[in-house]
Amino acid sequence: MAAPASQRRWRAGPLWLALQLVLSGSLLLLFLLPIYALFTYAPLSRFVADANNPQTYYALWLTFYASGIAVLAAVLFAVPLGYLLARRSFPGRSVVEAVVALPVVIPHLMVGLGLFLLVIPGTPLYRWTTSLGIPIYDTIWGVVLVMVFVSAPYTVLASTLSFRAVDSRVLEAARSLGAGPATVFVMVTMPLALRGIVAGLLLTWARAVSEIGGILILAYAVYPGGPYNGPVTSTISVYVYDLFQLGDLADAAAVSSIFLLIAFALFLLVRLGERSGWLPWRRGELGP
């Protein structure tokens, strides 16, 4: 006699559950163990020494400064492109979409090389940027340029999806209630799409701060110029890479841990802001 459906499910359950736990658990371990290793390798005294080292300070500052500019650039350029791709149909849209995906698939060392070839002395871009007083090679602008190249696609993709997810009937209802197209965009479309766009910006920021391949070629050492006036430095990833190359494993691990602590704290702040409703973009989902 066949067992009732509920019993059959219970019999198949434990094996299936165990398999799922083993498979996903392995992957989670892979994610967590290297971070554990980073945090536990260096003695506490090295953490203190590195946290007080001006070199660490300037590398961190440059990294957050440049990635901040890259996120602003994404807001300014990538969000409108996302809106365009979501709301307008035009000939060649699929080509534009393919171009947006390009930076994700190109190895980033080659991105750096390509940008380098564009801005070396003698090129039109070199003459134009130097005449404007914004040199690219080995400056913060070089770092920003690489960061925008590799990270802006995440904001374009996220905002395209978010704008597309806004029900056009909601927008029509808003129009009919007396709001013009610009008002509808500000009061309805943006608030409804904001959560997805912010998620895209967070991804963009995370991708920007972790970039090293392109920066190694275009801005290995960052000289003062543009908005950066400190001593010669490099991004945090390049700095850690240098320490590693010198065989200084303890400092490399300690500096990495300091950076990760700050990055985690920032993510946590954003999440808490969302949960508490202080940041507006998840209101309505979490509220009463």
Partner 1 sequence: MTEWHVEGVESRLDHFRLGPIDLELRPGRAVAILGSSGAGKTTLLRTLAGFLPVRRGRIVRDGVDITDWQPEERGLGYVPQGLGLFAHRTVERNVRFPMELGYTPDANARTAALLERFHLTPLRHRYPARLSGGELQRVALARALAADPELIVWDEPWQALDVQARHELGLVLQELRETDRVPVVVVTHDPSLAFSIADTFLVLDQGTVRWQGDAAALIDHPTDPFAARFAGYENVYVRTDLEVDRTDPLALWLSDRAGDRGVAFARPVVAATPHDPPPWEGTVQTVRPTPEGVAVRLHAGGLLVAVQLERPWTGPLPTVGGRLRFRIDETTLHPLGGNLSRVGRGT
Are the C-beta atoms of residues 85 and 99 closer than 8 Å to each other?
Answer: no
Taken in order 211, 215, 217, 218, is the CA torsion positive or negative? positive
| 166 vs 253, beta carbon nearer partner 1 | 166
- Report the Cα 271 to chain-centroid distance in Å: 15
| 185 vs 241, beta carbon nearer partner 1 | 185
Q: 3-state DSSP call for residue 137?
A: coil
CB of 280 to partner 1, least distance (A): 8
Are the C-beta atoms of residues 152 and 103 closer than 8 Å to each other?
Answer: yes
CB of 204 to partner 1, least distance (A): 23
Instruction: Please tell me the distance from the alpha carbon of residue 270 to that of residue 92, in angstroms, as a whole number.
Output: 37
| 19 vs 187, beta carbon nearer partner 1 | 187
Helical H segments across the chain, by residue range: 5-41, 44-51, 54-73, 79-87, 93-105, 108-119, 124-132, 140-165, 168-176, 181-184, 190-209, 213-218, 236-245, 249-276
CB of 273 to partner 1, least distance (A): 16
CB of 140 to partner 1, least distance (A): 37
CB of 192 to partner 1, least distance (A): 6
| 124 vs 180, beta carbon nearer partner 1 | 180
CB of 150 to partner 1, least distance (A): 32
- Report the Cα 224 to chain-centroid distance in Å: 25
To 10 degrees, what angle do helices 108-119 and 140-165 make?
Answer: 120
Are the C-beta atoms of residues 253 and 241 closer than 8 Å to each other?
Answer: no
Are the C-beta atoms of residues 196 and 158 closer than 8 Å to each other?
Answer: yes
| 224 vs 284, beta carbon nearer partner 1 | 284
| 46 vs 283, beta carbon nearer partner 1 | 283
CB of 40 to partner 1, least distance (A): 44
Give the binding site for partner 1 (CB under 8 A): 167, 169-180, 183, 187-188, 191-192, 280, 283-285, 287-288
Query: Burial code of 45-80, b = ≥16 C-beta within 10 A, e = fewer?
Result: ebbeebeeeebbebbbebbbbbbebbbebbeeebbe
| 190 vs 266, beta carbon nearer partner 1 | 190
